[in-house]
Every structure is written in structure tokens, then in C-alpha cells.
Amino acid sequence: MDPLAAIRETFFQECEEQLAELESGLLAMEGGDRDPETINAVFRAVHSIKGGAGAFSLEALIRFAHVFETALDEMRSGRLAVTADVLKTMLRAADVLADLVRAAHDGAQGDDPRAAALADELKAMSGAAGEDDGGEEDWGDFEFKPQLVAFEAAPAPTGFLVRFKPRHDLYAKANEAALLLRELSRLGDAQVELDTEDLPPLGELDPEAAYLAWTVTLNGDTDETTIREVFEFVDGDCELEVTPIGGAPADPPAPDFDLSALLARVSDGAADDAPAGDFGAPAADGPAAEAPLADASVVELPLAANRPAPEPAAETQGLGGHRKSEAGATIRVDLERVDRLIDLVGELVINQAVLAQRVMEAGLARASAVAMGLDELEQLTREIQDSVMAIRAQPVKSVFQRMPRLVREVAAMTGKPVRLVTEGEGTEVDKTVIERLADPLTHMIRNAIDHGLESPEKRAAAGKPAEGVVRLAAMHRSGRIVIEVSDDGGGINRERVKSIAVERGLISAEAQLSDEEIDNLIFMAGFSTASEVSDISGRGVGMDVVRRSIQALGGRITINSKPGKGSTFTMSLPLTLAVLDGMVVSVEGQTLVAPITAIIETLQPKAEDVHSLGGHARVISIRGGFVPLIDVGMALGYRPEPLSATSGVALLIEGEGGARAALLVDAIQGQRQVVIKSLEANYRQVPGVAAATILGDGRVALILDIDTIVAVSRGELRKAG
């Protein structure tokens, strides 16, 4: 890639980090954080974005970032009071900045009217703080203004007389008189005179002081601006006079000082004498001081005598004391390489399983050295797999960070004051899971505010604070990640949910449903089809879509709602999409894998518990309740007639938003972790099959898509019933 294009990508990546930093800083401030470092970090974020935008000439971004930065600087310096209103504006500005960054990334360079409006607000804020933000003072220019006019009016001079007398400060800042003279000599024919008039007797010489001055006669095609530019960095640290010489070149005021000789000394001696010298730093007048003196060693003596006491060693070490190396803590790796590694480890796991099976088949004793070695190999393989998976793991922070903005927007749209509380942002899960969490979380949080939270009036009437709370939390629980979205709103209006479900033909009007079953109705496809159902469903986004995307990740979603207290949606997801804990079963000679997370229990159906509903539809009574009994062999088309229930094993599973069913299989082979292989890579999606895996015998086994199987059978059940 073109190196600049690569840096541009880096810039946009870094922008995302800065935007996240900006937002979390502003939110912390909103929460009362007044740590100067927080304000500084916020300022720095915008400042950095502006800096990078400048490098790539992203004008719209630069303009907005500049105004934003100015306002933040006012805030940082205390001239602009940090009030709730100011922070709200800053947060909106952060959103606009994020949009501008993304627009710039996409190559758009138009002006966002929102940006213009907000820029005006920010300017008003900065202005009100008593400072004009009157644009940029270009401090690169102020050194050379008036001379230019005079210069043009006068007949062109043929040369300049430059008198230059460094002050001590010039050397203290590591500037070098000799380098300035070298620079000057490049502008034309230079004759340099060293003025040692101020040099005190040796005994009085202060090694830190500056005594020397130079007069340079410069002939050539140059101008005063260019000459003064040479001294740009030392402005104020030296006396400088630049006088044009008209007509014929002025006679050198004194015998020539050989500049080239001086420069030769500088380049030979500078490294030893001044900059790298182990004392006194920029030695007064540096190597140039040697020039007028016949014997350099004479100068050195007093310098050495007056050498400042060495700085206490402790100080330098103290410097090291608070150093904390952060470099090398992380490396950036191409995702493709990680995925290749994960694939290979998957192969390793399969091969190890194949080997183990072969060894078993060979009839070796479990205690034999080979079998024991194989156990160790299995352990090791598992550890390698876990470690490799951990490479792809990332904190959920990246997706949680997008939510505050959403909350602000939905809060503004609905007119409900909302506070978002996030917990467990550092909880790690596979990168792909994180990426695919954004959409369902967005829908759920929008629903929580729009439909979960009551209006401020209703809240007041219920004795609740006007500000609603939406909580987003992540945690690890038994090898899975659990994410909760909860609100302190009114809870699910069960009567209304039920009547909608009846209205939409999802349940019969006579259906007797538990509270839990009613709550779960909202996950049903077809529950929310239109926006007028504004009680629970979102704008065209039904909870069934949310549930499906969570299930597509191998996850489950449940709801727990308490009238008047609010609702909690709990999602449980696998930490990685690459492996799955499965129950290996046989069906009509085929080996299949059922995800263990869906299985509640396994049971041996008794004849008296199984009831036919006509056709092939059957239900099984489990602890007094009836659940559909689904023959997996038939559902997948492996056999035309169902298996006799008593000759198989039933897996009681929970799918469809908590709905239960029993899957009838021929036999259970055991439990094991399997590596998930895509069927779509070389084929396509197959109904009833979630993916494939490769078992110990080297053959492909299909992983059941339990929800599809249940949904299909349910449709048949309804037809039958």
C-alpha cells in the first residue's frame, strides 16, 4: 500500500480511539468528574483529530475540530464553566465530530449543516467565556513584517550587514551560533567578523554566559526576510540587526574572519566540545569561543574550574523511577494471520481426536503409555486452542461505547431523560461476537427507552425520579458471556401484550398463559409487524429479529419483567464462534451434534407420557406440562415414519425465546467440544442445520439448528391441531 494511504488508515483508526476517549471523558465529566487530566484527555482527543486532519487536508473536519478545540480549551483553562448544558453541547459536538470523521473516511467533503449549527453554538460558548477566538494568530509570520515595505521602496540593496549577539538563553535552548552563521553563509558571500569586545578576563568568565558577537557582511541575491528567517528560532534570545547595504558592496569593517575555518572547527569539534560534552551543556559560546584565543586549552581551564556541580545522581535516577515502559505491551497483527492460526488449531484438535479414536480402536489399555501420552496431548491441544481463541478476544467496551450516543439521541427523540449505566466493559469475547452484538444491543436499548421507560409524568406519579435508568452490563458466567439490558421502567404490560398476540393470531383468546409465557410472546415472529404497536416493539424492529440475531451467534435471550419495576433482557452468548459444546447423538444411522446450551435435560420417554395429536404430531408430558415431541429423523427427512418414542431418547430443549420442546433421537453418544465448520463456505445454508463439524472418525457431522427444527415442527403441529 502507498505509505501515505496506510497512514491515512492509521489516522482514521486512531480517530475512532480518540472519539471513544472524547465521549467517555465527557460522560465522566457529566457524572461529576472534574479531574484536570480528564479534561486534558478530552481536549487532547479533539486536538489530535485536528492535527491529523490537518495533515490530510480534511477541511470540514479541521474547521469543526478547531472550533470544538477552542471551546474545550476555554473549559480547560477554567474560563468556560463546566455546566450540564455546556457538557450536553460538547457531547453533541462529539457526535458531530464522529460523523465528520466517518464522512471524511468515506471521502465525503461536504459541509454538514448540523456541524455549522453546532460550531456556532460552540463559538457562542467560547465567546461568552470572554475570549475572542479570533482565528489563528500565525506565529510563524510575526517576526518579519515592517521591513518588507521599506525594502520594496528603497533601491535594491546589494548586500546586508548582520550584527548578531547571542544571549545566554540561545545556548540554553541548544541553539548554536555557529549553525546560524553557517545557515547565513548559504545565502550569499559572507564575511564574518567576530567581536570579542565583551569577553571578560578569564578569571571572571562565566561559563554559562554569552560574550561573543558577530558581524556578517552578506553579499548576494537575498532579502531581509530570508535573513531574519535564519534567526527565527532565536528571536528574543539574541540581539539582531539587519542593515541593507546600498550600492557597491560595503568594505568589510574589519579583517576577515574566516568563516570556513570556523565551520570546519564546528563540524570537527562540536560533537566533542559542546553538545555531547558531559558538563555544563551548551558551553558558553561553544566551540566558537576558541576562535579568538590562541590556545584553546586556556579557555578550557576556567570553564572547568567554574563547572557547575554535577547534578545529584539521584535526580537523574528519580527520573527513571516513574518511568513505566508501555512500549512492547501490545503488537498489531493482521486478523487474517490470527484466523489462519485458529483454523490450524482447529485442524489440530480434529486430528488429535482422530488419533485418540484410532488408539481406542486399537484396543490399547487406558493406562498404557500411549493412551496416557495422548491424554496429555489432548490437554495441551485444548490449552493451545483456548490461548489462540483468546487472541481474538476483545473487551465489549468497543460496542458499549457506541451506546451513550444512541441513548442521547433516543432520549432527545422521546423527551425522556435517561441515564445509561454500563458495567463490565472490560469483559472479553470473540471479536466477531462483539461486531454482531452492536445491532441487537442497539435495538434493545432503543426499545428500553422508547417502550420500557415511562414518561417523566408517569414516573413522577409512580414516585420515581424523572430520570430513567438503562443499565447495560456484561459478565462472564460459566464459560459464556452474559449481557444484560435492563430499565427501571414500568415493566411489560402483559394484558396489552396478550391482546396484541390474540389480535395477530399468535395465540387463541382462551389460551391460559403464565406471566413468563406472556413476556416471551414479544419474541415471536409476527408479534410486532407495524409501528403502531408502540408498546413494546421498536420502530419496525421486532424482538424476534433481536432474538434471531442472538441465536445466530449461538446465544439465548430471556426476559424478566416486574410490573412497575422494569424489565431485564439477559443474553447468554458463547465466547467464541469457533467451537461449541455439543451433545453427539445418532439419528437413523447419522451422527448429529446438538448444542448443549440449548439442552435442559435428557430423558427416556415412557409410553404413558406420549400422546398423539393425529398425524405424526405428538406431545410428551413432562412434570405435568405438555411439550411437543419432535422426531429429529423425520424433521431432517432421514426417515418417513417417526421412531417409536420409547425406543429413543428425548432432549428437552429450550428455544424460541424460552419455548420448550423435546427432540427425539435414537441414541446419545456423548458430549464433546466440536470445532464449528461452515457449510456455506462450499455449499449453502441447509434448513435445520446450523453448521458442520468433523468428528474423531474423520467424518463430517451436522450441528442441529434447534430453533429451525422446532419452528418447522411447530408449524406442522398447528396444522395437525
Partner 1 sequence: MSQTPNPSGHVGAGMRELISFRIGAQEFCVDIMAIREIRGWTAATALPQSPSFVKGVINLRGAVLPIVDLASRLGFESTQANDRNVIIVAQIGEQVVGLLVDAVSDILTVTDDVIQPTPDVASETAKTFVRGLIAMDGRMISLIGLDRVLPDMELEAA
Partner 2 sequence: MSMTVLTVDDSRTMREMLRLALADAGFRVVQAEDGIHGLEVLQAEAPQVIVTDINMPRMDGFGFIEEVRGDPKHRAIPILVLTTESDAEKKNRARMAGATGWIVKPFNPVKLVDAIRRVAA
> Helix, strand, or coil here: 470?
strand
Stretch that binds partner 2, among 96-104, 321-329, 376-384, 625-633 (CB under 8 A): 321-329
323 is a site residue for partner 2 (CB under 8 A): yes
- What dihedral do alpha carbons 54, 57, 58, 61 form, nearest 10°? 30
Q: Kindly report the CA angle at 584 between 581 and 586, in degrees rounded to 5?
A: 160
Q: Which stretch binds partner 2 (CB under 8 A): 45-53, 369-377, 610-618, 681-689?
A: 45-53
End-to-end CA distance of the chain: 64
Looking up cell 553563509 gives 185
Residue 578 in the binding site for partner 1 (CB under 8 A): no
DSSP sequence for 100-123: HHHHHHTT--PPPHHHHHHHHHHH
Nearer to partner 2, 271 or 511 (CB): 271
User: Taking CB within 5 to 8 Å according to partner kind, which of partner 1, partner 2, none is near residue 302?
Assistant: none
In the complex with partner 2, the residue whose CB is nearer, 21 or 111, is 21
Considering only 14, 343, 409, 517, the residue that binds partner 1 (CB under 8 A) is 343
Q: Where does 536-666 show beta strands of DSSP type E? A: 556-562, 566-574, 579-587, 590-595, 599-603, 610-612, 618-622, 625-631, 649-655, 659-665
Binding segment (CB under 8 A) for partner 1, from list 35-43, 48-56, 514-522, 687-695: 687-695
Q: Which of 384, 638, 658, 720 binds partner 1 (CB under 8 A)?
A: 638
CA 651/CA 637 separation, integer angstroms: 19
Of 274, 253, 243, 254, nearest to 178 by C-alpha is: 274
Q: How far apart are CA 45 and CA 538, in angstroms?
A: 34
- Distance separating alpha carbons of residues 457 and 454, to the nearest angstrom: 8
We find the least distance from the C-beta atom of residue 705 to partner 1, in angstroms, to be 10
Beta carbon of residue 252, minimum distance to partner 2 (angstroms, whole number)? 26
Which residues, in sequence order, are bridge partners of residue 611? 619
* Binding-site member from 20, 26, 50, 657 for partner 2 (CB under 8 A): 50
Q: Which is nearer to partner 1, 613 or 686 (CB)?
A: 686
295 binds partner 2 (CB under 8 A): no
Residue 13 or 196: the one with the smaller Cβ distance to partner 2 is 13
Looking at 106, 155, 325, 684, which residue binds partner 2 (CB under 8 A)?
325
Q: Are strands 579-587 and 590-595 parallel, antiparallel or unpaired?
A: antiparallel
379 binds partner 1 (CB under 8 A): no
Bridge partner residues of 618 (DSSP): 612, 629
Cell numbers linked to 557: 435471550
Q: Please list, in sequence order, all residues whose beta carbon lies within 8 angstroms of the beta carbon of residue 507, skipping any fewer than 6 positions away.
A: 498, 501, 513, 521
Task: Among 236, 246, 426, 540, indicate the residue that binds partner 2 (CB under 8 A).
Answer: 236
Under the binding rule (CB under 8 A), the answer on residue 267 touching partner 2 is yes
d(CA 686, CA 708): 10
Q: With binding defined as CB under 8 A, does residue 564 bind partner 2? A: no
To partner 2, the closest distance from the beta carbon of 136 in angstroms equals 4
Q: Which does 692 bind (CB under 5 to 8 A by kind): partner 2, partner 1, none?
A: partner 1
Q: In a 3-state reduction of DSSP, which class is residue 218?
A: strand
Should residue 270 be labelled a site residue for partner 2 when binding is judged by CB under 8 A? yes
- Total residues in contact with partner 2, by rule CB under 8 A: 65
* Span interacting with partner 2, options 122-130, 308-316, 389-397, 556-564, rule CB under 8 A: 308-316
Distance of CA 562 to the CA centre of its chain: 35
Q: From the list partner 1, partner 2, none, which binds 688 (C-beta under 5 to 8 Å, kind-based)?
A: partner 1
Q: Which grid coordinates are listed for 347?
A: 485442524
Q: Is 350 in the site for partner 1 (CB under 8 A)?
A: yes
Under the binding rule (CB under 8 A), the answer on residue 700 touching partner 1 is yes
By CB under 8 A, is residue 326 in contact with partner 2? yes
CB of 679 to partner 1, least distance (A): 6
Q: What residue 157 binds from partner 1, partner 2, none (CB within 5 to 8 A, per partner kind)?
A: none
Give dist(CA 405, CA 102) in Å, integer.
Answer: 15
CB 345 within 8 Å of CB 351? no
- Answer yes or no: are the C-beta atoms of 702 and 695 closer than 8 Å: no
If contact means CB under 5 to 8 A according to the sort of partner, which of partner 2, partner 1, none does residue 142 touch?
A: partner 2
Nearer to partner 1, 542 or 688 (CB): 688
Environment class of 365 (CB within 10 Å of its CB; exposed 0-12, middle 13-18, buried 19+): exposed
Cβ-contact 449, 490 below 8 angstroms: no
The window from 9-17, 416-424, 505-513, 633-641 that contacts partner 2 (CB under 8 A) reads 9-17
- Candidate list 4, 81, 202, 304; residue touching partner 2; CB under 8 A: 4
Answer yes or no: are the C-beta atoms of 711 and 653 closer than 8 Å. no
| Only segment of 79-87, 176-184, 334-342, 667-675 that touches partner 2 (CB under 8 A) | 176-184
Helices and strands (DSSP H and E) totals, the chain? 23, 22
**Residue 625 Cβ vs partner 2, minimum distance, rounded to whole Å:** 59
Task: Find out whether 692 and 712 touch, Cβ atoms under 8 Å.
Answer: no
Name the grid cell of 377.
Answer: 496431548
- Binding residues vs partner 1 (CB under 8 A): 343, 346-347, 350, 590-591, 636-638, 677-679, 681-689, 692, 694, 698-702
- Binding residues vs partner 2 (CB under 8 A): 3-4, 6-7, 10-11, 13-14, 37, 40-41, 43-44, 47-48, 50-52, 54-55, 57, 136-140, 142, 172-176, 178-179, 183, 230, 232-233, 236-237, 266-267, 270-271, 274-282, 310-311, 315-316, 319-320, 322-327
